[in-house]
């Protein structure tokens, strides 16, 4: 669930940059073009900066999320299996105990996984901040 939410946040970063870039584009007037080449290249670089860093952050989030969830589930399964083996014969029936068992250190593994996901999402945040800095420059009009 955390990886899905973080992927949605990365998409929102791109949406915000696209809205800022679209609001800076002007149409040509009767006296000539008012959208300079400098502004166009700045908008392209801002979009690529945000887009490529969010692509890298999304890939890192996907890999870290998948491995973290698999490891958490495997750890919980192994802890449950070891607890049921050690409890066999204790309940008087010689079978498997039906009581709820502690998951052991699976919670610690989940916290580590969420921490890695947070740092992978920070890559996209840095690209978003750089894109905001690039687009915050005042647009330069064409001079003839």
Q: What is the pLDDT of residue 73?
A: 77
Query: How many other C-beta atoms can be found within 10 angstroms of the C-beta atom of residue 59?
Result: 12
Distances from the Cα of 77 to the Cαs of 29, 54, 80, 103, 105, in angstroms? 68, 34, 5, 8, 11
Q: Supply angle C-alpha 24, 28, 34, rounded to 5.
A: 55
Closest by CA position to 88, among listed 101, 77, 75, 76 = 101
Largest CA distance in the chain: 94
Query: pTM of this prediction?
Result: 0.73
Q: What is the pLDDT of residues 17-71, one digit of tens each?
A: 999 999 988 888 888 788 888 888 999 999 999 999 999 999 999 998 888 888 8
């Amino acid at each position: 669930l955390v990886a899905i939410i973080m992927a949605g946040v990365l998409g929102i970063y791109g949406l915000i940059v696209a809205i800022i870039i679209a609001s800076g584009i002007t149409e040509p007037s009767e006296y000539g073009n008012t959208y300079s080449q400098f502004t166009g290249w700045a908008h392209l670089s801002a979009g690529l900066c945000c887009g490529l860093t969010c692509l890298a952050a999304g890939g890192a989030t996907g890999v870290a999320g998948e491995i973290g969830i698999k490891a958490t589930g495997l750890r919980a399964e192994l802890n449950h299996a070891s607890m049921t083996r050690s409890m066999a014969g204790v309940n008087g029936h010689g079978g498997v105990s039906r009581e709820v068992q502690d998951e052991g250190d699976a919670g610690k593994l989940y916290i580590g996984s969420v921490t890695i996901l947070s740092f992978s999402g920070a890559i996209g945040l840095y690209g978003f901040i750089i894109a905001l800095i690039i687009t915050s420059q005042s647009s330069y009009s064409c001079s003839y």
